[in-house]
Structure 1
Amino acid sequence: MRYDEAKRKLRGSIAPIVTPFKQDYSMDLDKLKELIDWHVESGSHAISVTGTTGEPSSLTAAERITVMETAAKAVNGRVPFVPGTGSTNHDETVDLTKKAQEMGADAALVIVPYYNKPSQHALYKHFKTVADSVDIPLIVYNIPGRTATNLDVKTLARLSEDCPNIIGVKESNKDFEHINRVLLNCGRDFNLYSGIELLCYPMLAIGGAGHISATANVMPEKVAEIYNAWEEGDVKRAQDLHFELMPLNDVLFKDTNPAPLKAALGMMGKIEPVLRMPMDLPTEALQSEIREVLKTYTNVADQVVSK
């Protein structure tokens, strides 16, 4: 996929799928395939795995590759496939991104390295080296709340100019002024994706390309419809969906993602509600709150088990 074509194709709701585990903490690849089928049938515009929502730091590098390969085969070209290949380790990031290219991924999502707290100069060198190692499109992933480092707009603009395969950024950044300056400095044809649930609709209004929203795991059709409504010019419908989903967005982030999300999917019978340590499920009180919020949505209420 050439880069201009990728910018046009990689739009809408790119659903960041959880990594299902069994009760013994082994990966449940059959459930992963089922989730991907459900998302494609529900209208998600693209599929991503092994991003933050996929608990990549709880997976070995070999397990990440297995999840990516399983997902690529399950997607089978029905929609674009965008695995997360970033790591706190530079060489591992390069290797995983090369593996994504080998398995035919449409793009790779590469997170700002976490824990290390690299300088802006170091971030530029890291991302440029990754970009130079492959010729598939890359989407940079900026999530300062999880990485402790914010990718500066000027650094991103320099990368977008020097690396033609860096086609966009997932901004999980609550600073909306920063987000506006991304398009100002990188160009309005640069693909901007929201990673903040309450900014999915507002980002479309300034020219965003879509969203990579954890909430899509629970309501893939409605998260995708926000983008569809906007593209069709139905602003009121997009606004209505934005506010309709707000209670769900709020409760799914009362604990660290994907803990509430996996609890919700367990209540819906989609997966076993299991996370690998050091992550764990939310408290019983929060799980009860999640259950009650889910019951207010008619499209999932009948799936929710009482306990």
Structure 2
Amino acid sequence: MTMTSRRHPIAGNWASLLLPIAEDNSIDFEKLGEEIDILIAAQVDGIYSNGTAGEFHNQTETEYERIQEMLASRCRAAGMAFIIGACQPDPIIMLDRLRRATAHKPLAIQVILPDWWPLTNLEAIDFLQRASEAADGIPLILYNPPHAKRVLRPAELSDVCGPCPSVVGMKIADGDDAWYAQARVYLGEFALFIPGHHLATGIKRGVAAGAFSNVACLSPRGAQAWTALMHTDIDAALEIESRICAFMDSDIVPFRREHGYSNAALDKLLAAIGDWGPVTTRLRWPYRFISEQDANGLRDRARRMIPELFAR
């Protein structure tokens, strides 16, 4: 296999499907449908379900099926690309989710490595090969976030995913200059999706295909316009990125660093700050969520710091 033969056209700004959680801890499916319609109208490059911010780790299998059916049916009707997350720390449940996801014919299916006990490379290869068989020809995206029990370096990602031709891409954190150099050496055949607030840097360095984007949590339309700008004026896009990162560092990351909130809580905070749809900051029990008052207090600041994301 050549360095580009498995490259898949999946790319760009992908919006996370966030779960509207009611006060009784149930999923509000009526609001979920509204959210999907809003994301479609924003003309993002695609919508993906069941990432960390989509709370894949905290839903029943019946709920899982209903979420995917709602996403798939609305996206198909609108001609919107979509990816289904089959992620689950339990490998048996994950493979079952993956098999059920194939019926919806998504552009790709996202998986993680089983995560109660970290896998060796050989175990990871075995799992991904089994997942490839279950995917029935649908491409796979490996999600290996910084909070995984085992975070793979570029060379390790190549070792694990290389033997599995169905794995066409990875959702991973980027890093410093050394990381980018290693990514170019080892991961050139894969579509790499990096954190949304670093996407302009990843595009500039010729490494990133796109982002499953926290910036789209803040503003789906704004993130889409910013992504388009990267291909016409990368310097302007990088300048906007510097202000996005400044906002994240000063106003969002402290909720995790100093108060212990989860990444999902931060993404839902961003959506509430953006105020573009029916998603509140509420997470499913037992996870703590950031107050709506905090979101309201940051709304004007976000618009002052990054007005381009909120232009009409």
Q: Same fold (TM over 0.5)?
A: yes
Q: Deviations over 1:88-118 (max 9, x none)?
A: 1111111111212111111011123333222
**In terms of mean alpha carbon deviation, does 85-94 or 124-133 score higher?**
124-133
Is the Cα contact below 8 Å between 2:21 and 2:283 reproduced in 1?
Answer: yes
1:252/1:261 contact within 8 Å kept = no
Q: Which residue of 1 aligns with 2:95?
A: 94
Give yes or no for the alignment of 1:246 onto 2:248: no
The equivalent residue for 2:287 is 279
1:270 aligns with 2:269: no
Which consecutive unaligned segments of at least 5 residues does structure 1 have? 303-307
- Report the secondary structure of 1:231's partner residue: coil
- So what's the TM-score if we normalise by structure 1? 0.85
Which residue of structure 2 lines up, in the alignment, with residue 140 of structure 1?
142
- Judge conservation of contact 1:13–1:224 (CA < 8 Å) in 2: yes
Decide whether the 8 Å contact of 2:90 with 2:114 is kept in 1: yes
Aligned-CA RMSD value: 2.8
Matched residue of 2:15: which SS? Answer: strand
Cα separation, partners in 2 of 1:161 and 1:147, compared to 1, 3 Å: closer
Q: Which runs of 5 or more structure 2 residues have no equivalent in the other structure?
A: 257-261
Amino acid paired to 2:143: Y
1:75 & 1:158 partners in 2: Cα distance?
34
Superimposed CA distance per residue, residues 133-178 of structure 1 (whole angstroms, 9 cap, x where no aligned partner): 22101111111x3212112433422344322221111112545533
Residue-by-residue CA offset, 1:263-293 (whole Å, 9 max, x unaligned): 4534626324321112122268854653443
Deviation string, structure 1 residues 17-37 (Cα, Å, up to 9, x no partner):
211112211111222222222
Q: SS where residue 130 of structure 2 aligns?
A: helix
How is 1:166-205 mapped onto 2 (pairs within 5 angstroms)?
166-174=167-175, 177-186=178-187, 188-194=188-194, 196-205=195-204
Greater relative contact order (Cα < 8 A, sep 6+): 2
Written as runs of structure 1 = structure 2, the 5 A alignment for 1:284-303 is 286-287=294-295, 289-296=297-304, 298=307
Cα distance between partner residues in 2 of 1:179 and 1:94: 32
- State the one-letter code of the partner of 2:263: N
Superposed, which structure 2 residues align to 1:226-241 within 5 Å? 226-232=226-232, 234-241=233-240
One-letter identity of the residue aligned with 1:73: S
- For residues 153 and 97 of structure 1, the distance between their equivalents in structure 2, rounded to whole angstroms, comes to 25
Q: Could you tell me whether the CA contact under 8 Å between 2:47 and 2:81 is conserved in 1?
A: yes
Query: For 1:1-307, what aligned pairs fall within 5 Å after superposition?
Result: 7-8=8-9, 10-76=10-76, 78-134=79-135, 135-143=137-145, 145-174=146-175, 177-186=178-187, 188-194=188-194, 196-207=195-206, 208-232=208-232, 234-250=233-249, 251-253=251-253, 254-255=255-256, 256-266=262-272, 268=275, 270-282=278-290, 286-287=294-295, 289-296=297-304, 298=307
Distance 1:170 1:112, change over 3 A: same
Distance 1:81 1:142 in 2: 20
Moved more, 101-110 or 167-176: 167-176
Structure 1 residues 293, 176: CA separation in 2 closer, same or farther (over 3 Å shift)?
A: farther
| Equivalent position of 2:259 in the other structure | none
Give the match's secondary structure for 1:211: strand
Q: Percent identity?
A: 21
* Aligned match of 1:305: none
Runs of 4+ in 1 over 6 A off after TM superposition: 3-6, 299-302
Q: CA deviation at 1:53?
A: 0.8
